[in-house]
Amino acid sequence: MNVHVLFRSLVAAVSLGGSTALHATGNPWFDDFVAFDNASGSTYTARTDAAYLAWQESYMLRSYLNLYDVSQDTAWLTKFTSHVDTVIGTAVDSDGDGYRDWTTARYSPNLALNPGFETADPGDATLPANWTRSGSTATTAFRTNAPGAYIPGNACSSVTWGAELITAGTTLQRLYQDIPAYLPNHRYELAFSAKNGGSVAARAFVYDRTTSTVLGSVFATSANWKSYSVEFVMPAAGHDVEIWLSHAATTTSGDTVFFDNLRVSPFFSYHVVDGMIGVPIATFVRLVNQNATALSSFQTKANDYQAFLENHVIAKWEDPAAFYGNTWVNASATEGYYEEPTGYDTFSSNTAFSPLPHNQSFALLGVQSILSDVNGNTAYRQKADKCATFFANLLTTQGSAYLWRYGTHPGAKIEDTSHANVDLEFIASLQRGAHVFTGADMAKFTDTLTDYVWNGSTTSPQLHNHVNGTQGSYCTDYDFSREMWGWVPLAQFDPLVWYLGATQYAATPASDPSEAATLSELIKWDPVKLTNQGFELADAVDSTLPARWSRVLSTATTAYRDAANARRGAYGLTLIANGTQWQKLKHPWTDYVGGATYVVTLDAKVDSSGADGRVWVLNETTGVTIASYNLTSTNWTTHSFSFTAPANGTDAVSVLLGHRDYTVTGGQAHYDNVSIKRSGDAW
| pLDDT for position 5 | 42
Say which residues have a Cβ less than 8 Å from residue 296's Cβ, sequence separation at least 6: none
| pLDDT for position 158 | 80
The yes or no reply on domain 550-678 and CATH 3.40.50.720 is: no
CB 260 within 8 A of CB 150: yes
Residue 22 backbone phi and psi in degrees, to 5: -80, -10
Interatomic CA distance for residues 316 and 327, integer angstroms: 9
Mean pLDDT computed over every residue of the chain? 94
CB 150 within 8 A of CB 305: no
Helices and strands per DSSP (H, E), number in the chain: 13, 26
Interatomic CA distance for residues 535 and 671, integer angstroms: 9
Dihedral in degrees, nearest 10, Cα atoms 273, 383, 336, 406: 40
Q: Which amino acid is at 178?
A: D
Interatomic CA distance for residues 332 and 612, integer angstroms: 54
**Local structure of 61: helix, strand or coil:** helix
Say which residues have a Cβ less than 8 Å from residue 554's Cβ, sequence separation at least 6: 575, 582, 583, 584, 585
Same fold, 120-266 and 550-678: yes
Interatomic CA distance for residues 470 and 463, integer angstroms: 9
End-to-end CA distance of the chain: 36
Packing angle of the helix pair 28-40, 496-507 (nearest 10 deg) = 60
- What beta strand segments (E) does 26-161 contain? 120-121, 124-128, 132-134, 141-144
Note the Cα 650 to chain centre separation in Å: 33
| pLDDT for position 27 | 82
| pLDDT for position 255 | 92
**Local structure of 510: helix, strand or coil:** coil
The predicted model gives 589-607 an average pLDDT of 96
The predicted model gives 468-475 an average pLDDT of 95
The residue among 357, 362, 405, 186 whose CA lies nearest residue 274 is 362
- What beta strand segments (E) does 153-237 contain? 162-168, 174-179, 187-196, 202-208, 213-220, 226-233
Say which residues have a Cβ less than 8 Å from residue 293's Cβ, sequence separation at least 6: none
Distances (CA, A) of 581 to 276, 471, 606, 619, 671: 50, 53, 18, 21, 19
CB 538 within 8 A of CB 48: no
Dihedral in degrees, nearest 10, Cα atoms 176, 179, 185, 190: -50
Q: Which amino acid is at 396?
A: T
Interatomic CA distance for residues 552 and 680, integer angstroms: 32
| pLDDT for position 215 | 98
Q: How many CB atoms lie within 10 A of CB 125?
A: 10
Interatomic CA distance for residues 477 and 147, integer angstroms: 28
Report pLDDT digits (tens) over 324-353: 999 999 999 999 999 999 999 999 988 889
Peptide bond into 355 cis (omega under 30): yes
The predicted model gives 176-193 an average pLDDT of 97
Interatomic CA distance for residues 452 and 463, integer angstroms: 9
Report pLDDT digits (tens) over 499-542: 999 999 998 999 999 999 999 999 999 999 999 999 999 999 99
CB 383 within 8 A of CB 373: no
Percent of the chain with pLDDT over 90: 91
Q: How many CB atoms lie within 10 A of CB 210?
A: 12
Burial letters for 626-647: b for 16+ Cβ neighbours within 10 Å, e otherwise?
beebebeeeebeebeeebebbe
Interatomic CA distance for residues 609 and 667, integer angstroms: 5
The residue among 375, 404, 374 whose CA lies nearest residue 391 is 404
Report pLDDT digits (tens) over 350-385: 888 999 999 999 999 999 999 999 999 999 999 999
The predicted model gives 666-677 an average pLDDT of 97
The residue among 335, 336, 334, 315 whose CA lies nearest residue 326 is 315
Interatomic CA distance for residues 167 and 248, integer angstroms: 10
The CA R_g of the chain, rounded to the nearest whole Å, is 29
Interatomic CA distance for residues 436 and 510, integer angstroms: 34
Which fold is adopted by the domain 120-266? Answer: Jelly Rolls (2.60.120)
Report pLDDT digits (tens) over 216-258: 999 999 999 999 999 999 999 999 999 999 999 887 899 999 9
The predicted model gives 382-408 an average pLDDT of 98
**Local structure of 417: helix, strand or coil:** coil
**Domain positions in the chain:** 41-103+269-393, 120-266, 550-678
Interatomic CA distance for residues 131 and 317, integer angstroms: 38
| pLDDT for position 14 | 55
Residue scoring higher pLDDT (32 or 154): 32
The predicted model gives 583-608 an average pLDDT of 96
Report pLDDT digits (tens) over 46-103: 999 999 999 999 999 999 999 999 999 999 999 999 999 999 999 999 999 999 999 9
Predicted TM-score (pTM) of this structure: 0.94
| pLDDT for position 28 | 87
Q: How many CB atoms lie within 10 A of CB 103?
A: 23
- Burial class from Cβ neighbours inside 10 Å (0-12, 13-18, 19+) for residue 440 reads exposed
The predicted model gives 557-561 an average pLDDT of 98
Residue 101 backbone phi and psi in degrees, to 5: -155, 175
